[in-house]
Amino acid sequence: MSDHYDLKKLKMILPILARTTGGYATITDSEGRRLCTVDWNGTEIEELNDEIYDLAKDAAQQARSLIGVSQIVDQADAWALPIGEYVLACSNVERLKREQKFQDALIKALPMIAQVAGGEAVIFNELGERLLSYYSNGTERHQLKGQVSKLACQAMVSREPVVGKSFSVNGAMAVRIPITEKIGFGFNNEKATRQHQKLYDEVKKFQSAHYCFEDIIGESEILAKTKSMAKFVADGVSSILIYGETGTGKELFAQSVHNASERRYQPFVALNCGALPASLIESNLFGYEEGAFTGAKKGGSPGAFEQANGGTIFLDEISEMELSLQTKLLRVLQEREIVRVGGFKVKKIDVRVIASTNKELNDLIADGKFRQDLFYRLNVVQLKIPSLKERVGDIVLLAMYFIQKYALSLGKPIEDIDIGTLKILQNYSWPGNVRELQNCIESAMNMVREEPMLLPEHLPLYLRQGQKALKESVVVEIGNEGLNLKEALSGVEKLIIQKALEMAKYKKVYAARILGISTATLWRKLTDYGMEREQM
């Protein structure tokens, strides 16, 4: 069979190929030299004759068809096919131009789409990377540009629309639609979600439990497992004991459990067992009758258990409760009835008990400071809240959440965080956990002037230097006369507290922040060590 082809006949089919493929069509010799090139209108472009087309040359040398790029228009696709001693080649320039026109029109319409849809509208590339986005009010959004959405990438790969959670707005849903091979389009229901949340917040004002599981920020696996378990047991009646370091959000979980249960329309009453003196905790827990003690109200007063009847009572820092009160609490949990201080009348109650502690209760039991039978009664269901250092990946989400929160309340036009700032936050140990991070961001936002993002210099000094200075400045000397671990640990703690007070210029709030503990806990430790008078 002869490989000879008639050049004249091959040239006649070029206009058909060009129109069909939507681009240029050309025929070259075996060296890739253009013999004839026509555009999609069938017009010959003589000035291209004798130019070397590398793709055609490679196809001839390899004796096989190849796919590559056009040498006439950037980013256009092309193919080359050897035909005997010649090579036919075509590109999709016209299709590329049509896609570009469509993309330009979509970009122009994007702010209008965002306003009509009532949510953020986004254009992304084949990798799911944000190229351009607009708020529902029609203004461009800059801070998330370049971020990659897994669901957007999934839509581009599958060539099918994908519906899922919004990448940028907590609680909102978004749809991602592939438009061409290069770009996709998406939008969410941000405006409707915010309106719904505002209405929900108004409803929550009339409840004592303001938070739900949706308010717990984080996507780490350990937090997701904890939330999943808490949701699973929410509808039960058994007591729950929540373990967690200071500032991890124990009450946040307690309120979320209440609001996810059938008791959500009933009262939620919280009592901090470590914030009140022992003389007041009993009357606050169980109530009192008129004349029970000096200053008692006329007619008496109901306690937390009566107030929470039908709902949930949250006993924070249960480890701080005195043994005498633990005995009375145990009786309440066993009998489901209370007697007011100074009274004799027994009142039946229906209350679910959720308690929390940042201490290991088994150690307190061993030291005789906590009743073992009360522990068993409280520890029916146990929840362990992870510390922030156990979920470092959530720091950026929490930081952005608090930035947006304080940007609104403080009137600071800032929506992003500098990479250097983020590294400092991620490398810090966060002994005060989420509460400390929140305080840190609030402090930093107060330092912002006209900067477009949160910078390292905005962060509190203790975060950049304080902890290092604190660790390096505390030196403990141990003599040879014998060791007492409890006394040694107390001595170290007292030295650390003293150093933190000096660094904070004896301002208790800042000293507590340096130490990663609450102000109430700092005051209690100052009292325990007899240091409160020294700091007056």
Distance CA 110, CA 121 (A): 6
Q: Which residues contact 37 (CB under 8 A, 6 or more apart)?
A: 14, 24, 25, 26, 27, 44, 45, 48, 49
Quick check: 59 and 53 in contact, CB under 8 A? no
The whole-number pLDDT of residue 304 equals: 87
Distance CA 314, CA 356 (A): 8
Residue type, 446: N
Distance CA 71, CA 164 (A): 41
Quick check: 94 and 22 in contact, CB under 8 A? yes
Distance CA 356, CA 351 (A): 16
208 burial (CB, 10 Å; 0-12 / 13-18 / 19+) is middle
CA angle 512, 518, 523 (to 5 degrees): 75
The whole-number pLDDT of residue 205 equals: 42
Check whether domain 7-91 has CATH 3.10.20.30, yes or no: no
- What are the structure tokens assigned to 335, written together? 């009998």
Please name every residue paired with 417 in a beta bridge, in sequence order, or none if there are none. Answer: 454
Q: What's this model's pTM, rounded to 2 decimal places?
A: 0.53
Please name every residue paired with 34 in a beta bridge, in sequence order, or none if there are none. Answer: 28
- Return the biggest CA–CA distance within the chain: 120
Please name every residue paired with 129 in a beta bridge, in sequence order, or none if there are none. Answer: 148
Distance CA 124, CA 103 (A): 11
The whole-number pLDDT of residue 471 equals: 52
The whole-number pLDDT of residue 195 equals: 66
Strand 352-357 relative to strand 240-243, pairing: parallel
The whole-number pLDDT of residue 119 equals: 85
The whole-number pLDDT of residue 212 equals: 92
> Could you tell me which of 313, 175, 307 has the C-alpha nearest to residue 237?
313
Summary count for the chain: helices (H), strands (E): 21, 19
Distance CA 147, CA 457 (A): 25
Helix (H, G, I), strand (E, B) or coil at 216: coil
Q: Residue 342: in which H helix or E strand, if any?
A: none
- Structurally, at CATH architecture level, domain 390-459 sits in Orthogonal Bundle (1.10)
User: Which of the listed CATH numbers 3.30.450.20, 3.30.1330.20, 2.60.40.1730, 3.40.640.10 matches domain 96-192?
Assistant: 3.30.450.20
Helix (H, G, I), strand (E, B) or coil at 316: strand
The whole-number pLDDT of residue 476 equals: 54
The whole-number pLDDT of residue 227 equals: 95
CA dihedral 318, 320, 324, 330 (to 10 degrees): 10
Residue numbers of the chain with a pLDDT score lower than 50 = 1-2, 199-207, 467, 469, 536
Quick check: 388 and 212 in contact, CB under 8 A? no
317: left (phi over 0), alpha (psi -120 to 50) or beta: left
Please name every residue paired with 38 in a beta bridge, in sequence order, or none if there are none. Answer: 25, 44
Beta strands in 335-391 (DSSP E): 337-339, 346-348, 352-357, 381-384
Indicate if 465-536 has the same CATH topology as 390-459: no
The whole-number pLDDT of residue 203 equals: 37
Please write down the long-range contacts of 464-467, taking CB distance under 8 Å and 24 or more positions apart: 464/424, 466/503, 466/514, 467/428, 467/429, 467/514
* CATH number assigned to the domain covering 465-536: 1.10.10
The whole-number pLDDT of residue 461 equals: 81
Q: Residue 178: in which H helix or E strand, if any?
A: strand 173-178
Quick check: 478 and 468 in contact, CB under 8 A? no
Per-residue model confidence as pLDDT tens digits over 228-284: 999 999 988 999 999 999 899 999 999 999 999 999 889 999 888 876 666 677 888
Quick check: 392 and 424 in contact, CB under 8 A? no
- What are the structure tokens assigned to 86, written together? 């010649």
Q: Domain residue spans in the chain?
A: 7-91, 96-192, 213-384, 390-459, 465-536
User: Which of the listed CATH numbers 3.30.1330.60, 3.40.1030.10, 3.40.50.300, 3.60.21.10 matches domain 213-384?
Assistant: 3.40.50.300
Distance CA 121, CA 188 (A): 7
The whole-number pLDDT of residue 382 equals: 95
